[in-house]
């Protein structure tokens, strides 16, 4: 069905206040369409060929199935969790924090009861005129997580936002969304976790807008674990005010032996440092298998002076998998005394694996310190020999050295319970039992 008709069919469900924005977004998307590889930002990621051309964006009915229950049961005991099925909030499975100065609810409720905040922030960080998937999402998204932390309120336990996809229709293209607002001096840790809990291939398009006030601190972990049969596009837009700190770690593990060879993950992670002394920290770790494609596009926009940013990405690519890394550092004319660093490293563990890595620095201020480094290679032969000379098999030595390579990124995850969870996942992934 044409998108316009799909929109007309469901627009009565949307909050009236958001309708003009949604219509603009739809119009923008109709102009942009799904990008082909001719588009510079999608040169190595042929999403047009992967996405079902007749996708439907309307929400499909959401059933709690055994896969959902089992996964929730397997999670470490997080204090707070928000569960979404096909993008729609499931209150019974969720544990919503009840903390003074913190508002946590779903977007539908936020549109209804926190209109001043949604009007001010929803759809304001995404660029509808040239971000294809953010435009599509803004037009159609039905629900998502809404978190608002008042001035100087510190939330100590991480909030875990879990998106399950339980689609029964292969043409479904789920639209999910988070809106996170930290007022000045607030502090919060969140995890966004995405999981295919269906027997079929799923398609989803996630957008998050995150506001970090002055002296506030927001730590985000994006978990894309055991990804199989999924086409996922993620857009995260953050804005950081004076002396605010933002960190995001994006962890992508493609699952082996799916047999269906259908994994495409694209992450667009952007941070705009608009207040003096702001800091952004980007970490990424990805494991590709079979013919998975994992694409990380990072943009840090230094707008204000005296800001710092750091990008550390590491990939491990097996079999015929492909990695894409594009790290942009923009330094605007006013952003003097910027200090920006970028590092991208990839291990190619098979002859067929490949990575397309591109640093992109655009600097319009003269008193800045920017550096980048990229390394692509195999494991160090001397290290392999050292481990093998103690009786460790070549396979296990490879796993141990891969663990050593990857662990640095896990160390960048601020939240202790999530860091421990990732450390265990990493050992599982590499079949290490130490």
Nearest distance in Å: CB 360, another protein: 28
Helices (H), 97-233: 107-113, 115-121, 132-140
Q: Tell the smallest beta-carbon distance from residue 236 to another protein (Å).
A: 27
Structure tokens belonging to residue 334: 């006013």
379-408 residues near another protein, rule: CB under 8 A: 381-383, 385-394, 396-397, 400-401, 403-408
CA distance 111 to 201: 31
- Least gap, CB of 353 to another protein (angstroms): 21
Can you tell me whether residue 23 is helix, strand or coil? helix
CA 127 to mean position of chain CA atoms: 17
Total chain residues near another protein (CB under 8 A): 25
Least Cβ distance, residue 429 to another protein (angstroms): 15
- What is the rounded distance in angstroms from the CA atom of residue 148 to the CA atom of residue 101? 8
- Residues in region 413-432 near another protein by CB under 8 A: 432
- Nearer Cβ to another protein (358/427): 427
Q: Which is nearer to another protein, 96 or 423 (CB)?
A: 423
Question: Closest CB to another protein among 119 and 396?
Answer: 396
Residue among 188 and 406 whose Cβ is closer to another protein: 406
> What are the DSSP calls for 325-361, one per residue?
EEEEEEE-TT-TT-EEEEEEEEEE-STT-EEEEEEEE
For 19, 192, 241, 286, the CA distances from 117, given in Å and listed in that order, are: 16, 21, 17, 35
Residues within window 322-381 making contact with another protein, judged by CB under 8 A:
381
CB of 300 or CB of 430, closer to another protein: 430
Q: Give ∠ CA 55-59-62 in degrees, rounded to 5.
A: 120
Under a CB-based contact definition with an 8 Å cutoff, are residues 172 and 141 in contact? no
Residue 146's DSSP bridge partners are 105, 179
Q: How far is the CB of 345 from another protein (least distance, A)?
A: 13
Instruction: Work out how close the CB of 32 gets to another protein at its nearest, in angstroms, rounded to a whole number.
Output: 42
- Which CB atom, from 124 or from 394, has the smaller least distance to another protein? 394
The nearest distance, CB 385 to another protein, in angstroms, is 6
Beta strands in 158-229 (DSSP E): 159-165, 173-182, 187-196, 202-212, 217-227
| Residue 118 to residue 104: CA distance in whole angstroms | 13
Q: How far is the CB of 394 from another protein (least distance, A)?
A: 6
Question: Is the distance from CB of 199 to CB of 230 less than 8 angstroms?
Answer: no
Contact residues for 144 (Cβ-Cβ < 8 A; gap 6+): 84, 87, 89, 106, 107, 176, 177, 178, 179
- For another protein, the closer of residues 278 and 410 by Cβ is 410
- What's the closest the beta carbon of residue 392 comes to another protein, in angstroms? 5
Closer by beta carbon to another protein, 95 or else 388: 388
Nearer to another protein by Cβ, of 50 and 427: the residue is 427
Helix (H, G, I), strand (E, B) or coil at 67: helix
Query: Footprint of another protein on this chain (CB under 8 A)?
Result: 381-383, 385-394, 396-397, 400-401, 403-408, 432, 434
């Amino acid at each position: 069905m044409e998108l316009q008709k799909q929109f007309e069919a469901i627009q009565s469900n949307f909050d009236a206040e958001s309708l003009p924005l949604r219509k603009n977004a739809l119009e923008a998307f109709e102009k942009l369409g799904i990008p082909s590889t001719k588009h510079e930002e999608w040169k190595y990621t042929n999403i047009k060929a992967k996405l079902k051309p007749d996708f439907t964006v309307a929400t499909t009915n959401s059933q709690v199935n055994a896969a959902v229950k089992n996964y929730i049961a397997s999670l470490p005991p997080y204090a707070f969790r928000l569960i979404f099925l096909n993008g729609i909030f499931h209150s019974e499975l969720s544990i919503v924090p009840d903390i003074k100065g913190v508002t946590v609810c779903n977007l539908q409720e936020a549109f209804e009861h926190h209109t001043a905040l949604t009007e001010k922030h929803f759809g304001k960080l995404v660029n509808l005129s040239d971000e294809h998937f953010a435009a599509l999402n803004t037009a159609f998204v039905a629900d998502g997580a809404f978190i608002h932390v008042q001035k100087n309120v510190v939330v100590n336990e991480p909030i875990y936002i879990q998106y399950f996809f339980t689609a029964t229709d292969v043409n479904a293209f789920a639209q999910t969304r988070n809106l996170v607002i930290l007022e000045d001096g607030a502090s919060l840790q969140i995890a966004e976790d995405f999981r295919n809990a269906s027997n079929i291939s799923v398609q989803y398009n996630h957008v998050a807008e995150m506001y970090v006030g002055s002296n506030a601190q927001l730590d985000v972990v994006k978990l894309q674990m055991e990804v199989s049969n999924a086409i996922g596009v993620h857009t995260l837009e953050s804005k950081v005010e004076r002396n605010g700190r933002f960190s995001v770690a994006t962890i992508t593990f493609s699952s082996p032996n799916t047999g269906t060879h259908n994994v495409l993950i694209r992450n667009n992670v952007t941070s705009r440092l608009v207040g003096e002394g702001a800091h952004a920290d980007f970490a990424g770790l990805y494991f590709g298998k079979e013919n998975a494609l994992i694409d990380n596009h990072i943009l840090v926009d230094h707008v204000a002076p005296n800001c710092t940013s750091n990008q550390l990405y590491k990939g491990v690519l097996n079999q015929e998998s492909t990695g894409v890394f594009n790290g942009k550092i923009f330094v605007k004319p006013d952003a003097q005394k910027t200090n920006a660093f970028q590092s991208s490293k990839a291990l190619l563990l098979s002859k067929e694996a490949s990575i397309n890595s591109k640093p992109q620095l655009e600097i319009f201020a003269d008193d800045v310190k920017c550096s980048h480094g990229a390394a692509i290679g195999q494991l160090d032969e001397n290290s392999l020999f050292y481990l093998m000379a103690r009786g460790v098999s070549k396979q296990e030595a490879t796993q141990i050295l891969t663990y050593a390579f990857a662990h640095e990124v896990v160390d960048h995850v601020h939240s202790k319970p999530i860091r421990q969870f990732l450390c265990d996942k990493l050992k599982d992934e590499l079949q290490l039992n130490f």
